[in-house]
Structure 1
Amino acid sequence: MALTDLQIRKAQPKEKAYKMADSLGLYLQVTKSGGKWWRFKYLFEGKEKLLSFGVYPDISLSDARERRQEARALVAKGIDPSGERKKVREIKAELTANSVDNIAREWHKHMMGNKAWSAEHAATIMTRLEKDVFPWIGSKPIAEVAAREIKAILDRVRSRGVIETARRVRTILGQIYTYAIATDRANYDISAGFKGYLPPTSKTRKHMASVTDPKELAPLLRAMDGYQGGLVAQSALKLLPMLFVRPGELRHMEWAEVDLETAEWNIPGPKMKMGLPHLVPLSRQAIAVLKELQPLTGHGKYVFPSTRSFFRCMSDNTINASFRRMGFDGDTIVGHGFRATARTILDEVLGFRPDIIEHQLAHAVKDPNGRAYNRTAFLPQRREMMQTWSDYLDGLKSGTKMPAPKKSARK
């Protein structure tokens, strides 16, 4: 007699496991703990074999019978169902090992192991992969990725108005393909056909868009103060002109690096472009911004975490996208442009010495005594300059006139 669903549902565990036969080699095994496992017993080349179909009720009676029929059809063709299942598992394992996601992470780990990148650069690479590549082709075997999929990825990044990022994504894909070829998981680099697809980089270095006229800077600062985004983005926009660090340095700012008591931000060398540690004196205004943000993000690692995960810092496009939402295009201002803004106004308007300004910009220049960059060089003068700069920015926003800086930091 074939089994019924009612019989199966009513089956209770006993002191020993027992079988409930259905038909044509299919039976249900009830374990001592109450588990109900489907089994299929068959003969192949004169040997008795056993195949598992899963657990009831996940696999219903009709599902189990369908799987039995599929297995019997294979036996009739001279194919061992157990061997066929093993082949399928091996193929799936191979596809997973050869997926874009798996190869890219393996390549990323390889590059970090060789110390080819700084920690910041490695984080940027992984962020681009997780944001712009993995969601679209991550699960696909790298040898099966089509040209149209690479094109779609580049077009998607380019549509955000960041051609340079799209170009870097293409470069990353090319490096991943090179690694895949070297490890015998791809035969050619399909992304190489897109080298001329994106606009070429100008041979003449393009300076980042910036505002260096105080009359134009004032309305920009007021717009930034009134930005309606979340507190994390608001705080980043307020600190960027005050501290005039590179946007990537600000995004990766960690609470462990900030000392609110001494009013200092100590940036480790691996996070800096020149690879040297850098000290940023914090003005009263900067401290106020950080203290306001601390209850929200202070329990995590990053001062400016991603909206998706507190374990990652905010996206590299967040600040520039905020400017676009405020109506300022990329020809007017980008996050990096505040470095030029500060350098110009601190020198030409406020009269601070260029070597002090360059030290605060963490540029590899020598001071008047021939000394190379030192994170603590001119620290009192830099503290004065950073406070004067924050006061000056406040004055621009309110329209009040600022006093001249002290002689110690002036030319």
Structure 2
Amino acid sequence: MPRVIKPLTAVQVKNAKPQDKPYKLYDGGGLFLLVTPAGGKLWRLKYRQENGKEGLLSFGSYPAVSLEQARRKRDEAKQQKASGNDPGQIARAEKAESKSLARNTFAAIAGQWIDFMGSKIAPQTLKYYNSLMKNYLLPNFGDMPVKKIKPSHLIEVFRKIEEKGTLYSSKRSCQICSNVMQYAVALELIEINPVPSIRKLLKVPKYGHFSAVIDPESLGNILYKIEQYKGYGTIRNALRMMPYVFVRSSELMNARWADMNFDACEWRYTVRKTNTPHIVPLAPQVIGILNEQRNISGDCELVFPGYYDKTKRMGPGSMCHALRTLGIPYSDMTVHGFRATARTLLDEVLGERYEYIEHQLAHAVRDPNGRAYNRTEHLAERKRMMIRWATYLDTLREKARQAA
């Protein structure tokens, strides 16, 4: 006659004392409590496998797992067996899945992606990516398994970033998050990248006019920060040169050594936007920067070549990324904004003539008879103006250095 097992009570489980040898307290249906000599109380389930052999499942320890919880786990295992599944195999699969989730967090996969990209992008870009990771992505997603990141969570996080007024950072962070999730797809950790599905639900930055500072003190602080840039030397020199010459950023990035006349202290080229010849007088400070840059670019045709392929110009967002790395937000200053800064301060602070300023900006300037000035018009006056402007910028930067 089979032995009748009376179900355990919560008091029996609580008061079970250790003995010299391990012993079992049975609850029925194969569930028992194993009490060890060290005082441990471990829930176990004995069941019959499909091959006829005895299987054993672990449900955790008491009191972390109560008697009622252990019984529920037993009933779930019995249902799995009744459905033709081996509860032991299911438990092992769940344990492996749990380990996989713990190992494949967003932070872990993001780190792998950063390592992968490290050999493909310029150091300053990598630094910018790491900055966005640290400030926006890792605090929100870092500990989450990539498999658990859903569109609803993404929307919640990126809308919080938007509410802070950092739409540009939200957009760039979203792009990087998508890259990491796509990398997880490639590793077969997830089937679908969830980021593209939420992009149309996020706000889009409106760029309109390029931000520019027109306050001398603020400009001095920005110039001082640029001097502190520790990234790729070519980007640093391009960023240092831009305020002095205030050309369009594309013109600076496409600058060629063949167009630089060091004897005449001039940079002559054709403005692509208007297809007109242009002359930029080079102040001594600019000549100094170009001499430094020659040591970096060497025999390259371009003055500011790319980091990996020196036959191509540096990336169009390189200087912009550098400003963000220096803590200068898009809402305060853009690379193109140096043109508006120069136009305003040359007029309102230095009192330079309108024609000289506009001509130096490569804008169409006409004489009283309606005829466009040619590129050599007022060249002597513009050379004087550019030297005066460079000296003024140095003064602002020095004031900022002394105040720092």
Deviations 1:338-376 (A, max 9, x none): 999799979976xxxxxxxxxxxxxxxxxxxxxxxxxxx
* 1:389 equivalent in structure 2: 399
Q: 1:86–1:320: structure 2 CA closer, same or farther, 3 Å change rule?
A: same
> What is the aligned counterpart of 2:82 among 76, 88, 97?
76
> What is the aligned counterpart of 2:27 among 22, 29, 45?
22
Q: 1:62–1:151: structure 2 CA closer, same or farther, 3 Å change rule?
A: closer
Deviation at 1:58, TM superposition (A): 1.0
Q: Percent identity?
A: 28
Q: What is the distance in 2 between the residues matched to 1:48 and 1:152?
A: 49
Contact 2:20 2:37 in 1 (8 A): yes
Q: 1:74–1:178: structure 2 CA closer, same or farther, 3 Å change rule?
A: closer
Q: 1:40–1:318: structure 2 CA closer, same or farther, 3 Å change rule?
A: same
Deviation at 1:54, TM superposition (A): 0.8
What is the count of residue pairs matched by the alignment? Answer: 272
Structure possessing the higher relative contact order (Cα contacts under 8 Å, 6 or more residues apart): 2
Q: What is the distance in 1 between the residues matched to 2:129 and 2:169?
A: 11
Q: What is the distance in 1 between the residues matched to 2:45 and 2:136?
A: 46
Which amino acid is 1:244 matched to? L
Q: What is the distance in 2 between the residues matched to 1:32 and 1:143?
A: 40
Deviation at 1:123, TM superposition (A): 4.5
* 1:12 equivalent in structure 2: 17
Q: What is the distance in 2 between the residues matched to 1:181 and 1:389?
A: 52
Contact 2:24 2:32 in 1 (8 A): yes
Contact 1:96 1:102 in 2 (8 A): no
Deviation at 1:244, TM superposition (A): 3.3
Q: What is the distance in 1 between the residues matched to 2:153 and 2:162?
A: 14
Q: What is the distance in 1 between the residues matched to 2:147 and 2:41?
A: 40
* 1:109 equivalent in structure 2: 115
> What is the aligned counterpart of 2:213 among 210, 218, 221?
210
Matched, 1:274 2:236: yes
Q: 1:9–1:131: structure 2 CA closer, same or farther, 3 Å change rule?
A: same
Q: What is the distance in 2 between the residues matched to 1:19 and 1:111?
A: 56
Contact 1:174 1:192 in 2 (8 A): no
Q: What is the distance in 1 between the residues matched to 2:26 and 2:43?
A: 10
> What is the aligned counterpart of 1:3 among 5, 8, 11?
8
Q: What is the distance in 2 between the residues matched to 1:318 and 1:153?
A: 22
Provide the secondary structure at the position in 2 that maps to 1:274.
helix
Contact 1:170 1:191 in 2 (8 A): no
Deviations 1:127-174 (A, max 9, x none): 43454445666636469744x665555544333333322332243234
Matched, 1:122 2:132: no
* 2:298 equivalent in structure 1: none
Deviation at 1:53, TM superposition (A): 1.1
* 2:294 equivalent in structure 1: none
TM-score normalised over the length of structure 1:
0.49
Q: What is the distance in 1 between the residues matched to 2:30 and 2:201?
A: 62
- Aligned CA-pair RMSD: 5.0
Deviation at 1:26, TM superposition (A): 1.8
Gaps of 5+ in 1: 222-239, 250-264, 279-314, 322-329, 350-380, 395-411
Which amino acid is 2:33 matched to? L
* 1:244 equivalent in structure 2: 223
Deviation at 1:49, TM superposition (A): 1.2
* 2:65 equivalent in structure 1: 59
Deviation at 1:60, TM superposition (A): 1.4
User: What are the equivalent positions in structure 2 for 1:93-104 lying under 5 Å apart?
Assistant: 93-94=99-100, 100-104=106-110
Deviation at 1:8, TM superposition (A): 2.7
Larger Rg: 2
Matched, 1:34 2:39: yes
Q: 1:389–1:339: structure 2 CA closer, same or farther, 3 Å change rule?
A: farther
Q: What is the distance in 2 between the residues matched to 1:103 and 1:391?
A: 41
* 2:264 equivalent in structure 1: none
User: What are the equivalent positions in structure 2 for 1:326-341 lying under 5 Å apart?
Assistant: 330=331, 333=332
Q: What is the distance in 2 between the residues matched to 1:152 and 1:10?
A: 48
Contact 2:31 2:45 in 1 (8 A): yes
Contact 1:111 1:117 in 2 (8 A): no
Q: 1:392–1:68: structure 2 CA closer, same or farther, 3 Å change rule?
A: closer
> What is the aligned counterpart of 2:179 among 170, 175, 179?
175
Contact 1:244 1:338 in 2 (8 A): no
Deviations 1:67-90 (A, max 9, x none): 222222322333211111122233
Gaps of 5+ in 2: 1-5, 241-323, 351-390
Q: What is the distance in 2 between the residues matched to 1:189 and 1:25?
A: 43
Q: 1:151–1:57: structure 2 CA closer, same or farther, 3 Å change rule?
A: closer
Q: What is the distance in 1 between the residues matched to 2:163 and 2:81?
A: 54
Q: 1:193–1:25: structure 2 CA closer, same or farther, 3 Å change rule?
A: closer
Deviations 1:108-140 (A, max 9, x none): 23223x26242x543542443454445666636
Deviation at 1:30, TM superposition (A): 1.6
Which amino acid is 1:175 matched to? N
